[in-house]
């Protein structure tokens, strides 16, 4: 006599989920095999469907400099999350909080100056 | 309505049975009834006729009464192409390509003077003189632009055409006809005109008779 295994429920759940996902796809596939009109061609099977012909390859490379750009933007974006509550509570804060925030801002600005001097902001 | 004789059952017997509350039908009739009441048009407008087409779908004219309110933004999901407006020669290849990408069975309504003949721009150098030069058109609507009632009438004409189609014979829909081409050649935008200027399999130039 085996003991009740709580993981059995997860297995049953997974099987049901897989069946739920696969059954419509399988039905559609069988339906298409049996009943769809056999009229296909290169235009009809083309991936792009806006009437225009697609040009080139979708697997193009992006410059890695873009990611540095993105990271710098993200840092200043996150900074506003700290700045907004600080600005709302500004009048009730002691001088120490103000100095701490200024130091935080200057650290970020220093990073920006460093990146600028490295030439990251020049899109060449 | 149907010029074909009722296969298997006599028309008089059929009418007699329906008086007794026994309804008989053909598989083709049920098939066509389903097809004609769920025609999904392609959401595709070319010029001012498209405004009338939009008006037709809205509440005042309400194309939804005919089961055609679902305008699909993708040719993969559309049954009907309403060519609404002027087809310039630059746009014609795209129109043919979109028609090619629609699944079978598919139908075309050429809406307005421009789509059926070039309309007021017929003498122009850059306007196609009727989309029926490249794709088979089922219903032509004259007018500049046609009123929404005219589009609804064309749609009802198309529904009648669908319900008259049979499983076999010359009147069968395209997808049941192995000889019907799956794709129509897409014209290229050439130096002076479209290359080729028309598809002779779907359109023949009108014969000119000379009277001396």
A105 in any annotated domain: yes
Interface size between A and B, measured as CB pairs under 8 A: 40
A110 in any annotated domain: yes
CB contact under 8 A, A44 and B101: yes
All structural domains of chain B, each given as residue ranges with its CATH number in brackets, are 40-163 (3.40.50.12280)
DSSP label at residue B129: S
Which of A31, A34, A37 is the mutation pick for testing B, counting most B CBs within 10 A?
A: A37
A78 in any annotated domain: yes
What pLDDT does A32 receive? 86
- Mode of pairing for the β-strands spanning B139-141 and B107-111: parallel
CB neighbourhood size of B85 (10 A):
23
Distance from C-alpha of B150 to C-alpha of B154, rounded to nearest angstrom: 6
Six-digit token pair at A1? 């006599």
CB contact under 8 A, B104 and A39: yes
Question: Where do the DSSP E strands lie in A4-106?
Answer: none
Tell me the shortest Cα–Cα distance from B152 to chain A, in angstroms: 26
With an 8 Å Cβ cutoff, is B95 touching chain A? Answer: yes
A87 in any annotated domain: yes
With an 8 Å Cβ cutoff, is B94 touching chain A? Answer: yes
Tell me the shortest Cα–Cα distance from B101 to chain A, in angstroms: 4
What pLDDT does B6 receive? 46
Query: Nearest 5 degrees, angle CA B109-CA B55-CA B115?
Result: 30
A75 in any annotated domain: yes
CB contact under 8 A, B176 and A37: yes
Question: Where do the DSSP E strands lie in B36-119?
Answer: 80-84, 107-111
Tell me the shortest Cα–Cα distance from B96 to chain A, in angstroms: 8
The number of domains in chain A is 1
Distance from C-alpha of B14 to C-alpha of B24, rounded to nearest angstrom: 7
B42 by DSSP, 3-state: which? Answer: strand
pLDDT in tens, B64-120: 999 998 999 999 999 999 999 999 999 999 999 999 999 988 999 999 999 999 999
What pLDDT does B115 receive? 94
Which of B83, B167, B183, B188 is the mutation pick for testing A, counting most A CBs within 10 A?
A: B183
A35 in any annotated domain: no
Over residues A90-110, the mean pLDDT reads 92
Chain B residue numbers touching A49 (CB-CB < 8 A)? 74-76, 101
A11 in any annotated domain: no
A72 in any annotated domain: yes
**Which of B31, B2, B9, B33 lies closest to B169 in space, CA to CA?**
B2
Residue B207 confidence class, pLDDT cut points 50, 70, 90: confident
Six-digit token pair at A77? 């974006």
Contact B141, B49 (CB under 8 A): no
The alpha carbon of A92 is separated from its chain's Cα centroid by a whole number of angstroms, namely 38
Over residues A73-81, the mean pLDDT reads 90
pLDDT in tens, B1-50: 444 544 567 888 888 988 999 888 888 889 999 999 999 999 989 999 99
Give the domain range for residue A107. 65-118
Distance from C-alpha of B53 to C-alpha of B42, rounded to nearest angstrom: 11
Six-digit token pair at B62? 């309400």
CB contact under 8 A, A44 and B105: no
CB contact under 8 A, A42 and B97: no
B182 by DSSP, 3-state: which? Answer: coil
Tell me the shortest Cα–Cα distance from A36 to chain B, in angstroms: 8
Which residue of B lies nearest to A37 if distances are taken between CA atoms?
B175
Residue with tokens 């020049």, as numbered in its chain:
A122
pLDDT in tens, A15-71: 999 999 999 999 999 998 888 878 888 888 888 888 888 888 888 887 787 888 888
B141 by DSSP, 3-state: which? Answer: strand
CB contact under 8 A, B97 and A53: yes
Chain B residue numbers touching A46 (CB-CB < 8 A)? 101
Q: Which helix (H) or strand (E) holds B89?
A: none
Contact B127, B121 (CB under 8 A): yes
B8 by DSSP, 3-state: which? Answer: coil
Distance from C-alpha of A60 to C-alpha of B9, rounded to nearest angstrom: 64
């Amino acid at each position: 006599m085996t003991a009740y295994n709580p993981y059995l429920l997860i297995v049953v759940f997974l099987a049901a989920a897989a069946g739920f996902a696969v059954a419509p796809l399988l039905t559609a596939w069988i339906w298409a095999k049996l009943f769809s009109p056999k009229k296909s061609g290169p235009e009809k099977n083309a991936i792009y469907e806006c009437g225009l012909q697609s040009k080139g390859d979708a697997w193009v490379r992006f410059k890695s400099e873009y990611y540095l750009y993105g990271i710098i933007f993200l840092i200043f974006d996150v900074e506003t999350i700290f700045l907004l509550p600080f600005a709302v509570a500004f009048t009730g804060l002691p001088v120490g909080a103000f100095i701490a925030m200024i130091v935080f801002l200057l650290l970020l600005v220093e990073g920006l100056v460093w990146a600028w001097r490295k030439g990251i902001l020049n899109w060449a | 309505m149907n010029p074909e004789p009722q296969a298997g059952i006599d028309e008089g017997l059929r009418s007699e049975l329906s008086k007794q509350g026994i309804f008989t039908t053909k598989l083709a009739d049920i098939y066509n009834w389903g097809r004609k009441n769920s025609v999904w048009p392609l959401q595709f407008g070319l010029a001012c006729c498209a405004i009338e087409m939009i008006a037709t779908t809205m509440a005042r004219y309400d194309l939804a009464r005919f089961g055609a309110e679902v305008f699909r933004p993708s040719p993969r999901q559309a049954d009907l192409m309403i060519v609404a407006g002027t087809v310039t020669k630059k746009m014609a290849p795209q129109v043919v390509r979109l028609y090619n990408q629609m699944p079978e069975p598919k139908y075309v309504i050429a809406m307005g003077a421009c789509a059926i003949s070039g309309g007021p721009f017929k003498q122009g150098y850059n306007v196609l003189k009727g989309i029926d030069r490249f794709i088979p058109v089922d219903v032509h609507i004259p007018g500049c632009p046609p009123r929404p009632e005219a589009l609804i009438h064309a749609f009802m004409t198309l529904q009648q055409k669908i319900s008259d189609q049979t499983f076999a014979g010359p009147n069968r829909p395209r997808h049941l006809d192995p000889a019907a081409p799956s794709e129509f050649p897409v014209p290229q935008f050439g130096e002076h005109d479209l290359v080729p200027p028309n598809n002779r399999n779907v359109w023949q130039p009108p014969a000119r008779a000379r009277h001396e």
